[in-house]
């Protein structure tokens, strides 16, 4: 009985969330939606996979702003979005940069009004989204649904890193997290990455080791039409000491998917040539869901 009640509550939550999103979209013109989608740029990946470095690199372009983990897909209806966003970063003692502090807007401004206002200030607009082990199951679906509705034609940079390194790095950063939590969230994150990559038209995969090759990084910025001069010393081997550790045999599917991406993606296009990975994507998704179910709640 309790499981049935939980399912009913979850179903109601999702219907309510989608109804709110459709209401927000209806308040915007078709031209506004298309313009935002075409000019959008997003970095989406699991935490500890290079999302912060890529966020900083995108923001080197004077005509682009990539918000730092504003999680628009969750907070698009929040009335005091500006106040909440600024307070979140103030607590983290972060600088008041264009991506971490929203200036010249009333604290009570909603997320959607912020998006429209920022689109007037910068030619490219988006955010960094770092998946965290504390995410609820429904967040992954909401993320894809929101991006599809609002930013389907945007540029997506999708960093990936050896799952064993991610788990070790996350547990060093937050020892209170369990290994199982980290493994389950990485599996769901990787499944979401592949879903976005295969369904959205302008996606670019970026393996973590490439962050330390300045020529490759410059090529990525060129591919997504960003104009940025990388300061000397900005690209460093931070986190490079985190090495892959032995993992349970059940986690091997994560490693296999990661290796398949790294082996298939081109440093020229940041895309994977159509072939085996495309043909087996449903099988890959199922194996990732099995890992997520084994180490967390059923996906």
Q: Which domain holds residue 37?
A: 2-295
Confidence of residue 299 (pLDDT cuts 50, 70, 90): very low
pTM: 0.91
Which CATH number covers residue 186? 3.40.50
19-39 per-position pLDDT tens digit: 988 888 888 889 999 999 999
What's the pLDDT at 68?
84
CA distances from 29 to 34, 36, 180, 196 (A): 9, 11, 44, 25
Tell the burial category of 9 from Cβ atoms under 10 Å away from its Cβ (0-12, 13-18, 19+): exposed
- Give how many domains the chain has, as a whole number: 1
- Please indicate whether residue 246 or residue 16 has the higher confidence score (pLDDT): 16
What's the pLDDT at 3?
59
- Please indicate whether residue 299 or residue 16 has the higher confidence score (pLDDT): 16
CA distances from 134 to 49, 152, 185 (A): 16, 26, 8
The stretches of the chain forming alpha helices (DSSP H) are 2-26, 30-39, 51-58, 72-75, 81-91, 111-121, 137-151, 163-173, 179-199, 214-223, 252-264, 276-279, 281-295
- Please indicate whether residue 249 or residue 188 has the higher confidence score (pLDDT): 188
- pLDDT at position 247 over 90: no
- Among residues of the chain, what percentage have pLDDT more than 90? 55
Element (H, E) at 246: none
């Amino acid at each position: 009985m309790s499981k049935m009640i939980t399912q009913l509550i979850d179903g109601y939550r999702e219907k309510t969330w989608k109804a709110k999103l459709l209401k927000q979209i209806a308040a915007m013109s078709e031209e506004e939606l298309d313009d935002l989608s075409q000019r959008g740029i997003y970095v989406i990946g699991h935490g500890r996979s290079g999302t912060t470095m890529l966020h900083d690199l995108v923001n080197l372009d004077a005509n682009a702003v990539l918000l730092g983990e504003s999680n628009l897909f969750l907070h698009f209806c929040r009335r005091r979005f500006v106040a909440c966003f600024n307070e979140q970063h103030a607590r983290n003692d972060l600088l008041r940069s264009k991506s971490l502090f929203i200036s010249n807007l009333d604290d009570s401004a909603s997320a959607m009004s912020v998006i429209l206002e920022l689109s007037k200030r910068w030619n490219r607009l988006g955010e960094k989204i770092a998946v965290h082990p504390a995410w609820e199951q429904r967040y992954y679906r909401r993320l894809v649904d929101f991006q599809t509705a609002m930013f389907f034609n945007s540029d997506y940079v999708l960093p990936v890193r050896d799952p064993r390194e991610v788990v070790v790095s996350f547990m060093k950063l937050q020892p209170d997290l369990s290994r199982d939590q980290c493994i389950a969230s990485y599996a769901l994150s990787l499944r979401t990455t592949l879903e976005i990559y295969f369904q959205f038209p302008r996606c670019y995969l970026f393996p973590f080791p490439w962050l330390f090759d300045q020529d490759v990084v410059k090529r990525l910025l060129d591919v997504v039409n960003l104009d940025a001069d990388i300061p000397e010393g900005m690209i460093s081997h931070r986190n490079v000491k985190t090495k892959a550790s032995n993992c349970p045999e059940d986690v091997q599917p994560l490693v296999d998917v990661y290796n398949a991406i790294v082996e298939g993606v081109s440093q020229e296009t940041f895309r994977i040539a159509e072939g085996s990975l495309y043909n087996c994507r449903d099988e890959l998704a199922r194996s990732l869901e099995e890992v997520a179910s084994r180490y967390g709640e059923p996906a």
